[in-house]
Structures are given as structure tokens and as C-alpha cells.
Amino acid sequence: MNPRIKCLRNQLNSLNIEGMIVSNPINIKYLTNIDAEGELLITRRENIFLTDGRYVEAVNSALTIDSEIIVWDKRGMIREDYENYFLFCEKVGFEESYVTYEKYKQIMQLYKINELVETEGIIEKQRRIKDEEEITNIKKACEITDQCFTFLKNYIKIGMTEREIAYRIEEFFIKNGAEGLAFNPIVASGTNSSMPHSIVSDKKIEEGDILLIDLGCKYKGYCSDMTRTIFVGKVDDTIKNIYDMVLGVQEQAISQMKDGANIKNITKVAEQELKINRFDLIHALGHGVGLDIHEAPVLTSKYDNLLKENMVIAIEPGVYVPKSFGIRIEDTVLITKNGCINLTNSEKNYTIIA
């Protein structure tokens, strides 16, 4: 029996929801390992993947009997087929944070469901806690990311462009066993580093630049996420002090992360430390990492929320001085009963390249 679908069914039961339409392809991949366009219907007795002619062959060949998924080709279906899926169901769940308003109206018409109810990220919440296989994949993605950073430290030279470096990151990932990028890497040099989501440009790396590199790859669908801020040629003392402060904030946060720790408190400590130094935390302190590069939980001081064993979290404090520079340090960590384990392990002392 597929344990992930079983867990979802138990949760739906406890909410008196008798079925669910899963539309988010990442959630479908999580529950079924299917990588194709379509919808997963969790009906009273069956798990049905509705797809079209282009994918039926590929999907069927990827499934085993243990998957307990029935594949239906939409092309052969008539109106009654849709109406029969959730016959006698009172409440059926849908994914309100994925389904567009237009699609919501179509679902209502097509399936003739009595009560279509919001499920408030029920699958995303389940995905926060990783199983053994997921952790293995994320570890592997993090290893390749560390190797890439080691490569970059030797590879990057004054005069190269940000774009060239970003390109080599992708090449390295693919050549070293990853499926590809988890996201477009940020390679932000000089004043470009002052923008947290800087877009890679043709700016050349210059003597004296700060160089912020945010990178991650995918391994069997699972992401890694790491940022290092390094220095070209020399480090100014003021910058060194700020770097140390950011690193201190990150290490302080990491030291508090464990099963049962409150995310709100951890974030508040980080915010206060930055505040004392007259900086604001202008983005979240961190986020879950898994099949998506950004997934639940988000680390903010807005809500009470506990860390749990086997969550995987990217922890990324940063400071940004407009038009001047930015420093961010980020690691992916695994939450355990008594602490957390760094899955990315690249050097965090001042790295100076030339």
C-alpha cells in the first residue's frame, strides 16, 4: 500500500472529507511518482490519474501494481464518468492555492460535487516531514552543491561575467549527476549583491567585489539550497564585521533548530540581533526545501509554528545595503530530535578569490 496516499486518506477521513481532486503536479509526483500532466482523484475506493493520450503510455509503464493507481485517458471519457467519481460524496477537497478561479468553476460544473471544500495545503503540510528516501535524495543534492562551490572557488577569476559563472554552475550540476538547477542561480557581484533577488547580468567580476552566489540543484526531483558570499581580492574591515554578524545570526539560529523548537522565537532572535546592528530582515529567515525549492514551513516571526523531526530547512539570514552591497549566508539543514544536521557544508570563513 502506498504509504503517502494512505496518510493523506487518514487525514481526509479525520476532516470528514470523502474525496479529493489533486491538481498540483508536485503533489501528484509526491503521492504517486507520476511526472505527467493530469489530475489525481482520491475517490472513496480508488486512486485515479486522469491524463491524456500523450502521457498514457509513459505513465502506465512507470507504475507498478503496488502503486494502486488507475490511469484513465480523458479522451475516452463522457460527462457521466466525471459525475460518477464522487457520487454519494458529501464533501470533496480541492487545492485552492493551486487551482485557478477559472478551473474551480470548471471543476464544479464537470464533477457535479455537492460541496467542494478548501483543503488548506493538506498535502503541503504532509510534505514538510521527509521520509528516508526523500532525505537521501536531498542529501545527494546538497553534496553536489558543495562540490560545485568547491569547483567555483577555483574557477572564478576576475574578468569573468556573472552569466558565465551561472552557466558553469548549471553545467557542473548536470555533469555531476544532478538533473539540473533547482532554481536559476543568483550570481550577484559588487552592487548587484544589494538586491536579494538579483538577476544574473553580464557584469564582469572586478577586484574588490563582493560576490553573492545562491545555488541549488535537483536530484531525483529533490532540491538543495545554499548561499555563500565571497570576496574578490580583498575584504574591507567594515564588510568583514557585517559578514561576521550575519554568520553569527545564522549560526545562532542553527544552534536553536531542533524538533519542537518554535519558528517564531528563532526568527525573533535573528531579527533582534540584526536590529541591534541597524539592519532589517527584509525576507523570511528560511523555508522548507523538498520537491519545491520553497515549501512549507516558512520561517517568519508572524506565526507560532514548531519545527519537527525530519523537516528540511534552508536557513538564510541576509543584510542588504541599497546600491552598495549585500551579504547572505544560507545552508540546508535536517531537523533531528536534539538539534539539526547541516546538509550543505561549504566553507563559511571569509573566502577570498583572485
Q: Is 337 in the site for a copy of itself (CB under 8 A)?
A: no
Q: 293 with 182: CB under 8 angstroms?
A: yes
Our CB check for a copy of itself shows the closer of 88 and 101 to be 101
- Angle subtended at Cα 217 by Cα 29 and Cα 212, rounded to the nearest 5 degrees: 140
Q: What phi and psi, each to the nearest 5 degrees, are found at residue 71?
A: -100, 125
The reply to whether 159 sits near a copy of itself by the rule CB under 8 A is: no
Candidates 45, 278, 323, 337: give the one binding a copy of itself (CB under 8 A). Answer: 323
Gap between the Cα atoms of 296 and 100, Å rounded: 20
Which positions from 213 to 242 touch a copy of itself by CB under 8 A, shown as an x/- string? ------------------------------
Q: How far is CA 117 from CA 157, 271, 333, in A?
A: 55, 37, 35
Provide the 10 A C-beta neighbour count for residue 320: 20
Q: Using the rule CB under 8 A, which residue among 45, 197, 278, 337 binds a copy of itself?
A: 197
Contact flags string 59-98 toward a copy of itself, x per CB under 8 A: -----------------------------------x-xxx
Q: Are 339 and 220 in contact (CB under 8 A)?
A: no
Closest approach, Cβ 11 to a copy of itself, in A, equals 19
Nearest distance from C-beta of residue 352 to a copy of itself, angstroms: 27
Q: How far is the CB of 7 from a copy of itself (least distance, A)?
A: 23
58 is an interface residue for a copy of itself by CB under 8 A: yes
Size of the site for a copy of itself (CB under 8 A): 34
What distance in Å separates the CA atoms of residue 77 and residue 1, rounded to the nearest whole number?
Answer: 27
DSSP helix/strand/coil, 45: coil
Reading the block at residue 285, the C-alpha cell is: 529567515
Dihedral through CA 155, CA 157, CA 160, CA 161, nearest 10? 80
Window 284 to 313, contacts with a copy of itself (CB under 8 A): none
In the complex, the smallest distance separating the C-beta of residue 53 from a copy of itself, rounded to whole angstroms, is: 4
Is 35 a binding residue for a copy of itself by CB under 8 A? The answer is yes
Q: How far is the CB of 223 from a copy of itself (least distance, A)?
A: 17
Q: Which of 329, 324, 59 is nearest to 47 (CA)?
A: 59
**By CB under 8 A, residue 27 contacts a copy of itself:** no
Quick one: CA torsion of 36, 181, 144, 243, rounded to 10 degrees?
-140
By CB under 8 A, residue 29 contacts a copy of itself: no
Query: Exposed/middle/buried for 141, CB within 10 Å: 0-12, 13-18, 19+?
Result: buried
Residue 282 is a binding residue for a copy of itself (CB under 8 A) = yes
Question: Which residue among 28, 99, 113, 313 contacts a copy of itself (CB under 8 A)?
Answer: 99
Query: Would you tell me which residues interact with a copy of itself (CB under 8 A)?
Result: 35-36, 53-55, 57-58, 94, 96-105, 118, 163, 167, 171, 174, 194-199, 280, 282-283, 322-323
